[in-house]
Structure 1
Amino acid sequence: SIDCGSSESYSDDYSIGWVGDDLYIQHGESVELQSSKPIYQPMATLRVFTDRKKNCYNIDSEKGSKVLVRAYFFYGNYDGKSSPPKFDLHFDGNHWITVETSADQLVSYEAIYVTKTDTISVCVAQTFPNMFPFISAIEVRDLDSKMYGYSDSNRALMLRRRVAYGTEVIVRSTDDFYDRIWVPAVKGDDFTVLTSDETFIEVSLDDSPPRALFQNAFATDNTSTSIQLGTNLPTTKVPVYVNIYYSEASVLDSTQKRSLQLLVDGKINSKPFIPVYGTAGEITLYNLTANSDTTFSLAASPDSTLPPLINALEVFTVSDELTDGTNSDDVEGLASLQDEFNVLKDWGGDPCLPSPYSWDWINCTSGSTPRVTALYLGSFGLSGFLPDFSSMTSLEIIDLHNNSLIGSIPEFLGTLPNLKQMNLAGNDLSGTIPSSISKNKKLKLTVTDNPNLCVSGKSCKTASVDTSGSGGSSSSGGRKKSKLPVILGTTIPIFVLVWVIGGVCAVLHHKRKSEAIAAGNV
């Protein structure tokens, strides 16, 4: 559970542990709501985003796991404008819904689906002028793989309604292991609340509804009155997925029988089913389209002596097929750039999807699995060496001008098969330009204002030659030059000169000695 806009960790009234969002996102502005009325703590802060096409939270998950994701939005007039905004909500590169916030009511959305990567992304995107997206909280729960088993693993279930009949309080984490939120249904005059005589209800259903749901139920007053199920479906027809939960509240005698059947638009849609005392039962509707005009009702079967009852209800719409996301090779290359340059790390969610909400500094192709065709990272504050993003083979444009890039131009840039333009001007690149780049006639290359870069027509600095020890330097032909002529040419004249000087000194010494002897004889 992530409290957006907060930096605190705490437990709420439901014993749910919350953490601040500073480990998930560094962009946007944190806002603390000011209100004279009590506010549920996770809704007391929010994070608002005033730039970028979309802003995303990335949450670690396990690929192929079934998850429940909830997003909360509480406006609370945080900006003093009394104008609740509208904006889009995305998950994992898929459009979720257009969020319509309320002036004073909490708005939340929930999706259940199977993840396709090891990261869950929840994003908000600005879709209307001067309406800045915000988010109050995000919750992610792992579900058992058997839950909601009649749904297509390539589609998501979007919650429209989840209610518990006969309860007076919200049922969630302390009773529901998977922390689904079951809201108490409003009792009408035609209903009677039944309380189960059994204190421990056996629940062995794959969807694992909490036992607390089966302690109470709604029933009509007579067998001729059916239970009309509120669905909160949209006005347009969409695929739906409906779970109805039931359990007999009392031990029936031999003269009593409670038998139910489900009707859709007045037509019987199921075989009769009989609630069992002390045991949870469930009926699921799927492969069906419906809208707000479609009626769903539980009625007593013709042979039933008791009226219909219901304990709980879940209503979902079924999404379009979920995207596999941007091409994995491009995702890998973009991840290399983000790992190297801190300024890029705060860009999350799917790079290209949903269209047109790609990252601001890339261009993408259309289609279900888009490719990245351009990097626009000029004047982005990049500093350091260029990492290897050779997997991005659909790149046509690379703009990296006016940064602080150092080192040589990587060889792999010359192997990108579709590259047409590359601007590396205004950096501190050095060395020579790879021939695969300089000789590419189809590539428009700009490398000005790189003072240490060796370009055509400019003398290139070469590395100093090591002449120490006995090793020799290599000539352009690859042959070693001998130092022997130099040594001989130097040592032979010196030897002759020393020999001549020595001879002269010996003659002079002999002459002086002879003169001294002669003088002594006198």
Structure 2
Amino acid sequence: MAVQMFLLMLLFIEVSLSQASLLRIDCGSQTGYEAKDGSYWSTDDEFVKVGNDMPISAGSFSKWTQLNTLRVFTKEKKVCYKLPAQPSVRYMSRATFYYGNYDGLSKPPTFDLEFDENNRKTVVTSNTDPQIYELIYTSGADDIKVCLIRTSDAQFPFINALELWPLDDNMYDGMTRDMAWLSNYRYDYGAVADTVDDWILGYPTDSANRIWVPTTPSDLNQTKASATYFYDNGDNNVPNVVMSQMVEAPNLTYPISLSFSINDGINLVHYVTAYFTETHSLNENESRSFEFNANNKFVSTMNPRYEYCTSVWAFVQSNGTLNVQLRASGNSTLPPLISAIEVYTGQAVHYPKTSKWKEVGGGGGGVLFLILIGCGYYLCSKSRNDGRPNGGGPNNGVIEEAPPRRRFWWRRTRYVEEEVVEAHA
């Protein structure tokens, strides 16, 4: 009994800490409140002292409570929310905008969004749909400033919700810390939803508080994994419900082709990560193997495993369009499939001279950007060891050494070359 009580206490502490580290602001709300998931939504009164609280029109009300109020700024050219943070900690921040015809004019405005005087983004609001902007960013000071900037005299900035939370150090392996990463796409393939109310809206379904948008390309087949439990959800901790739904090519010779439009300029640097699992425990005469290609460059050969998350990530350069293609390998008897994908675009960060940010991890970030500009491509793929007792995987839990590959990294003003040995399950 004492052991059980101790474990329950640990669970309570873990849940409490995860909720405490999650800052959620319902802009325009008159009072703070505890949501059904146990997290707390505060008002924005302590973060900004100007602007007007407004409800959206009754005909636009959403089940997503935070969309139903907003704060609008009709007098100010630029307004900033100052959110508490810790230097050198990597955060994900999210700003949500839903016009909802709050002013009865049916004229959704356009304005700019800015994080810490960097990473300015134009927000084009809609009469019907919320606009969501997410950024992964390493804080350089004791706070992170999220600013709204009026760019037209007759169009007033507003905001419905603002969130900030720290990311686990293991998440998004390879994502360099000297850049800010704007989320462009996060798709949950094979999921069905008619409205935003049916999306996966973060915590607690997703412990990392990510929003997953359901989508099914018309030329692909929806399918599900028969597994109800996953032994490993990967370093990015993809929710079970996301992993268990997927799309599959209609036949072995049909490739899965996914196109993503990113209208942010030229010579863009993207971080792409995708997730796969097998639908069932394969028979001896079955196999599933396919190539993962990005912008016509080979990244890795994928071999999804039943009850496990298999993931791959890559840096890719583009001029505004990113194409991902999955094509069956020659020895495969089953067509390619995919559960989910995330696409981010990197932007250089200029910390002020008073910044308290210091590099974590030995200075590997800058060189990846240099390699991308020089070569246009950098990639890394990962398979994972078994989580079951006594291994349970194809090698009974034995880690095999793969052939060494070359890695280049930057130290001060010179390149250093070293051997890297990767372990594969």
TM-score by length of 2: 0.72
Taking the aligned partners of 2:158 and 2:258, their CA distance within structure 1 comes to 33
| Aligned with 2:199 (options 160, 170, 174) | 170
Q: Report the CA distance shift for 1:204/1:213 in structure 2 as closer, same or farther (over 3 A).
A: closer
| Aligned with 1:312 (options 340, 356, 378) | 340
Counterpart code for 1:36? G
Q: Is the 8 A contact 1:93 1:325 kept in 2?
A: no
Aligned equivalent of 2:373:
none
Post-superposition Cα deviations, 1:236-256, rounded to whole Å, max 9, x if no partner, equal 331111110001111111211
User: Are 1:148 and 2:172 matched, yes or no?
Assistant: yes
Q: Which runs of 5+ in 2 are unaligned?
A: 1-23, 193-197, 357-425
Q: Is the 8 A contact 1:203 1:209 kept in 2?
A: no
Post-superposition Cα deviations, 1:412-451, rounded to whole Å, max 9, x if no partner, equal xxxxxxxxxxxxxxxxxxxxxxxxxxxxxxxxxxxxxxxx
Deviation of 1:150 (Å): 1.0
Q: Is the 8 A contact 1:11 1:17 kept in 2?
A: yes
Deviation of 1:193 (Å): 2.4
Pairing of 1:237-386 with structure 2 (within 5 A): 237=266, 238-265=268-295, 267-286=296-315, 288-319=316-347, 321-325=348-352, 327=354
Counterpart code for 1:29? N
| Aligned with 2:52 (options 29, 32, 43) | 29
In structure 2, the residue corresponding to 1:160 is in which secondary structure?
A: strand
Deviation of 1:187 (Å): 4.5
Deviation of 1:100 (Å): 0.9
Q: Report the CA distance shift for 1:290/1:76 in structure 2 as closer, same or farther (over 3 A).
A: same
Post-superposition Cα deviations, 1:469-521, rounded to whole Å, max 9, x if no partner, equal xxxxxxxxxxxxxxxxxxxxxxxxxxxxxxxxxxxxxxxxxxxxxxxxxxxxx
| Aligned with 1:205 (options 210, 234, 253) | 234
Post-superposition Cα deviations, 1:327-365, rounded to whole Å, max 9, x if no partner, equal 469xxxxxxxxxxxxxxxxxxxxxxxxxxxxxxxxxxxx
Q: Is the 8 A contact 1:203 1:211 kept in 2?
A: no
User: Following TM superposition, where does structure 1 have runs of at least 4 consecutive aligned residues deviating by more than 6 angstroms?
Assistant: none
Taking the aligned partners of 2:56 and 2:323, their CA distance within structure 1 comes to 41
Q: Is the 8 A contact 2:140 2:355 kept in 1?
A: no
Deviation of 1:212 (Å): 2.2
Q: Is the 8 A contact 1:90 1:122 kept in 2?
A: yes
User: Are 1:128 and 2:152 matched, yes or no?
Assistant: yes
Q: Is the 8 A contact 1:261 1:272 kept in 2?
A: yes
Deviation of 1:284 (Å): 0.4
Post-superposition Cα deviations, 1:40-70, rounded to whole Å, max 9, x if no partner, equal 3211111111233311111111111111111
Deviation of 1:3 (Å): 0.8
Deviation of 1:315 (Å): 0.7
Q: Report the CA distance shift for 1:38/1:79 in structure 2 as closer, same or farther (over 3 A).
A: closer
User: Are 1:3 and 2:33 matched, yes or no?
Assistant: no
Taking the aligned partners of 2:353 and 2:156, their CA distance within structure 1 comes to 26
- Percent same amino acid among aligned pairs? 32
Counterpart code for 1:170? W
Post-superposition Cα deviations, 1:161-202, rounded to whole Å, max 9, x if no partner, equal 1011122342332321111011111352x3222222222112
Q: Report the CA distance shift for 1:8/1:210 in structure 2 as closer, same or farther (over 3 A).
A: same
Taking the aligned partners of 2:130 and 2:118, their CA distance within structure 1 comes to 23
Pairing of 1:384-423 with structure 2 (within 5 A): none
Q: Is the 8 A contact 2:141 2:355 kept in 1?
A: no
Which one scores higher on RCO, CA 8 angstroms, separation ≥ 6? 2
TM-score by length of 1: 0.59
Q: Report the CA distance shift for 1:268/1:307 in structure 2 as closer, same or farther (over 3 A).
A: farther
Taking the aligned partners of 1:205 and 1:107, their CA distance within structure 2 comes to 28
Q: Is the 8 A contact 1:114 1:154 kept in 2?
A: yes
Deviation of 1:326 (Å): 5.9
Taking the aligned partners of 2:334 and 2:145, their CA distance within structure 1 comes to 49
Aligned equivalent of 2:366:
none
In structure 1, the residue corresponding to 2:105 is in which secondary structure?
A: coil
Taking the aligned partners of 1:315 and 1:157, their CA distance within structure 2 comes to 9
Number of equivalent positions: 325
CA RMSD of aligned residues (A): 2.0
